[in-house]
Each structure stands twice: as structure tokens, then as C-alpha cells.
Amino acid sequence: MEIPLLNDIVIIFGLSIAVLFIFHLIRVPAIVGFLLTGILAGPHGLGLVEAVHEVEILAEIGVVLLLFAIGLEFSLKRMLQIKRSILLGGSLQVLITVVIVFFIAMQIGPAFGESIFIGFLIALSSTAIVLKLIQERAEIDSPHGRATLGILLFQDVIIVPMMLFTPILAGATGDLGESLIILVAKGTGIILLVIVGARWIVPYALYQIARTRSRELFLLSVFMICLAVVWLTSSMGLSLALGAFLAGLIISESEYSHHALGNVLPFRDVFMSFFFVSIGMLLDLDFLFHQSGLILLIVLCFLALKASIACFVAFLLGFPLRTTILVGLALCQVGEFSFILSRTGVEYGLLAGDIYQFFLTVSVLTMAATPFCIALAPRIADLAMRLPLPERLISGLYPVHEIKRARKKDHLIIIGFGANGRNVARAARVAGIPHVIVEMDPEMVMTEQKKGVPIYYGDATHEAVFQHADIRDARIVVIAISDPAATRRITAIARRLNPKVHIIVRTRYLQEMKPLYELGADDVVPEEFETSVEIFTRVLVKYLIPRDEIESFIAEVRSDGYEMFRSISREPVPFPGLKLHLPDVEVATLRVFEGAPAAGKTLDQIGLRKKYGVTLLAIRRNSQMRSNPHGGMHVCAGDVLVVIGHPDKIAGVTGLFNNPEDMGD
């Protein structure tokens, strides 16, 4: 029996592989490849795919899994940290966009209701595309990443009131007040459900499921929780994406969030490809070719308008110029939920004919431009920072000159107050090291300053911030932010302002190491390799490698720039499992009891190797391991001996270390 959807899936995957392979060779983002696949396979292209509606359903699953995964990596605590970006930033961005687009549309010709509705459509940005790109760039925890996420979450919520207002704009009557009351009641109920589920219900349920050690049961349970919350929110009129994000938040509060995320990621990546393909299918190539000049002009105007509005909103939130530009260029496209809203507009006659086709074509092209806009954003920000702009614009609404100077000497400067920055600051506080923290999130700065933390607001890519942190008298600078381009610029500035300061940089990317060293960094700590060092260190400990050899190994790995991990040409560490190559040899530990025959004697007097054929590797005494002990060392009661030998030989020497009286009993 022929299944049309199966044929279409094979076509989509096959065409995607070919397009993505070519795009990988020419270094074009994968998202653009998926959009092109949709254009080619869709009804307006080669017409290869027939089950377009079914593909759209798979695309919606992709959006659900994307927001669910983001929710898993987030938490309610982190949501509260960006509440200002959600409530103030999101509301300002939507309101300003709707008002400006309304006045522009009124000048062109559409009626009052249609102009407002077009403003609704343009105000929304693409949660799926932007968050996926920010995640890939590891910038979700950066100031611009948090601000962007906050505004996008508000947009996902505001689409519900927009859909309620659509019939009113079209002239249809309805009890709007009653609808809003019901919506508020539903929203309150969902918030309570999230809090109760995150703190009590889900952690207990997942604990009971995890005890079974059944991977299938755990996977099904995670997806059931996700889909149940999505179904609940959608039945209340809220978006699927918002419900998926809330479901992820609920599970993120449990200790099983990382395991759940690992199970979800493969499914997310597969279904997200359908989302981007389905967006590409909307593009009408004939309409695009016939109106190419006008469409291109509208696309550029839309990108510039939305980027400018988002920049202005980020500036009002207190962010410096660099962050505002990154936020603006991340939110410059039209969003996927605009397509959902546009269908409601078509139903009520607010969009028709060429206007609807213009909207679809422009929206798809702005989405296709998003990867390039986000990739170019750091360079554009660097160029803008060199312009002779007012200090207030460069530094944001929290000017540097209002911050008290650090006035310290031989102090530590920490750039960024994320997880790594907090850990460094905590260690410095415990060790009594004078330190100064520079952070770009104004809300975080105000919160931490109330706690007495020596934290200052500012963009460290601006020299004035370093000068107020007394960079010339500092001993060490630690750069721990999630923005590779900003990290490079900050490293260069710090080295130029103080050639003697020791610069330690944290990066997630291996390819960033060489440029950072060339810019003046003294130590570059790549997260992925440091994780490998920690794991391999524990492996060596389990294989009873002496501590001094382990420390020597770690020093060697770090000294050559982690070359051992980057090259497969080196010989592996020559200490594989003993059981594999010496199956008749056993490593054992023997405790020396009070009154044992060997207690108080030297190793030479006992003669483990000469008399009994057992080799002593180390002695643990008072929590300290003494490897390769000399023959004159005395064995004391309470010692633990690590020995190697044939199991029968080891069994034969146990009597030397036990109390004969206890054995007699």
C-alpha cells in the first residue's frame, strides 16, 4: 500500500541532504538550505511534495520539541532573572512596532483595521529560527541572548490577545471583555500548574520512573509530560510553543532534566528540519520573480525597521550599544506565528490578494536572511563602536561615569557574571582576593549590588569600562562571557591597556584558542577539553596511577595547547586495563589491624615481594596516599595497603595484616 507522506518524507530528506552538503561546502547556514529545500520541493517549485498539510503538522512538532528543549535548559529561577526583558522589553517591542507599522500602512492605503492587523503580523519574530541559531552559537546565556529570549517569549504569549482582537478589527462582534476574563483565569491556572508541577509532582514522578532503570519508560514519560502540557495550553487558546516551553520548565526543576534533554535532542533536530522546509514551501517563485524589485525593497525596509525598533527597546532596557545591535539584528525577521495569525486574518477578510502574497514572500525572505544577520551582527557592532557616538548611547542608560571607580591594586577583574564568573568570584571572596566584576545585564547588577557584591555595569568592549575597573593596576583579568566576538575584542583591549596583566579566557570553541593567544591571552581554557581532562583524570585515578604522574600528565596536556586531544597521531597512554592483558593478576587493598603480625615492622622485614610474591603499590595513611614506598617505611595499624599479585598469593598474605585473636574468634 502506497503512503504519500512516506514518499514525501523520503523526497524531503534526500533533497535536504544534497542541498545541505553543497551549502556546507560553500559555508552557508543549514537553515537556508532547509528553506531552499522547501522552495524546490513545494507546490510553487518542482511540486515534488504532495502531502503539504502533513508536513506542516510535522513542522509544528519540531517547534514544540525546540521550545521544550529550551525550557529543559532553562529554569524558573532564570525566568525570573529576565522578567524585565519579558514584561517591559517584550511589551515595548510589540507596541512600538504595531504603532509604527499602523501609521505607515495607513499612508499606503489599507483601512484602519487592516493596518493594525498588519502591525500585529510584523511585530512577531521567529522564535524557532532565532533560538536555534543562538543555541548553536552558545549565546543563550549572554546578555543579548537573555534579552532576545525574553522578548520572544512575550511575543509567544501576546499572539493570543492578537487573535482575540482580530474579529473586532474585521468588524465582527463578540464579547471581548468576557473572553479576556476567561483568558486571564486560564493563564493564572497554568502558572499555578507550572509551579506545583515543577516543585512537587514531576520530580516525584520522575524519581519513581528513574528507579525502574527503564530507558523506554523514562523516554515515554518525558514525552507524555511535554505533550500533556502542550495539549492543556492549546485547549486554553495559548500557543503550542508556549506550552512546550512551560513543560520544559517544569522538568528543568528536577535533577533529571539533563537526561531528558539528551533523549529529546535527536527528535528535535529531525522535526525542526520539517519546520524550515514547510516555511520554504510557502514561497511563490512566480510572484517573487514578477515583483522582485518591490519585494526586495520591502524586505530591506522590514529588516531595518524591526532591527531599529528592537535596538531602541534594548537601549531602553539599559543595555549598551553593542548588546542593542545584537538584539536588534536577532529580532529583525517576521515570525512563524505570524503565519498562524495571517490565516485568521484571511478568514476574516483582513488579508487578501496581493497583500497576502507580499506578506508570505517577504516573511520567508526575512527568515532566510536571519542567519546572515546574526552572523554579521558582531562585526556591525564593532564598526558602530568605532563611530564618534555620544557616550550615553555607547554605554547605555547606566553611564560609566556614574560608577564609582574600583580603586584597587593587584586585584582580579572578572568579565561576566554567569556560572563561570560566579564561581571565580566566589573563590576569590573565600581566598580574600580583591576583585571587581563587570556585567552588561543592568538588572543583575542592581540585584547583586544590593547583596554587597563588587559588581559594576558596563560593556567591557568599551575601554572606559576597563579604565574605571583600574585595569592598569590589576594583576589578573578573567573573561568568562558567552560571546566569541566580544571575547576577542575584550582580550585585545585588556592587553593594550595593561601589557603586564595576566589574561585568562574561557571559551567553548577550539578554533578560538589561536586567535585569543595572538590577541594577548596568557591562558585560554576551552570548556570541552577541560571536561576531557577532568574525565580522564578520574579514569587514571581508578587505574591507580600515582597522583604525581596524573598531575604531570595534566600539565603536559595543558602546556602543549591540548595537542594530545586534537591529534590522533600520538600514542595512547600506556596503561590499559590490567584485567584485559593480565587476567591472572588482581589489584587489592589490605587493611592493617591493631595487633597484626606485620604491624610495626618495616616493608623490608615483611618482605612481601621476596617471601610471598606480592608487590606493594602504595600505602594509604590518614587519607594520604604514599605511592611506591621505600623498604624502610614502617607499616602501622590503620594503614591500607594497595597490592598487586595473583589472587592466591594475595589471599596467602592477608593473615599478616589481621589480628590473630580476631581470626580465632
Give all domains of the chain, ordered by start, each with its CATH number: 4-385 (1.20.1530.20), 398-521 (3.40.50.720), 528-575 (no CATH), 582-664 (3.30.70.1450)
Residue 572 is given by DSSP the state P
CA distance 341 to 119: 11
| Burial group, residue 276, by CB count within 10 angstroms (0-12, 13-18, 19+) | buried
Helices (H), 137-238: 143-169, 176-196, 202-210, 215-235
Q: Is the pTM of this model over 0.85?
A: no
Q: What angle do CA 616, 617, 620 make, to 5 degrees?
A: 100
Running along the chain, 665 residues long, what does each successive block of 10 average in pLDDT?
A: 78 92 86 89 87 84 82 73 86 95 86 89 90 83 87 83 79 60 74 81 86 86 89 78 82 79 80 86 86 92 95 90 93 86 82 82 90 91 85 68 57 88 88 88 81 86 83 91 86 90 84 84 79 73 71 69 51 44 70 87 88 88 80 88 85 83 55
Residues 6+ apart with CB under 8 A from 259: 210, 218
According to the 3-state scheme, what is the secondary structure of 579-624?
Answer: HHHCCCCEEEEEECCCCCCCCCCEHHHHCHHHHHCCEEEEEEECCE
Closest by CA position to 456, among listed 435, 476, 482: 435
Residue 454 is given by DSSP the state -
CA distance 339 to 325: 26
Give me the residues paired with residue 634 across strands. Answer: 602
Give the model's pLDDT for residue 31.
84
SS3 content of the chain, % helix, strand, coil (to 5): 65, 10, 25
Give the model's pLDDT for residue 91.
93
Closest by CA position to 253, among listed 232, 227, 225: 225
Give the model's pLDDT for residue 531.
67
Query: H helices then E strands: how many in the chain?
Result: 33, 10
173-to-110, 117, 165, 170, 301 alpha-carbon distances in Å: 21, 16, 10, 9, 35
Give the model's pLDDT for residue 276.
84
Q: Is the dihedral of CA 412, 415, 416, 420 positive or negative?
A: negative
Q: Which residue has the cell 549590588?
A: 449
Give the model's pLDDT for residue 380.
92
CA distance 132 to 138: 10
CA distance 259 to 326: 32
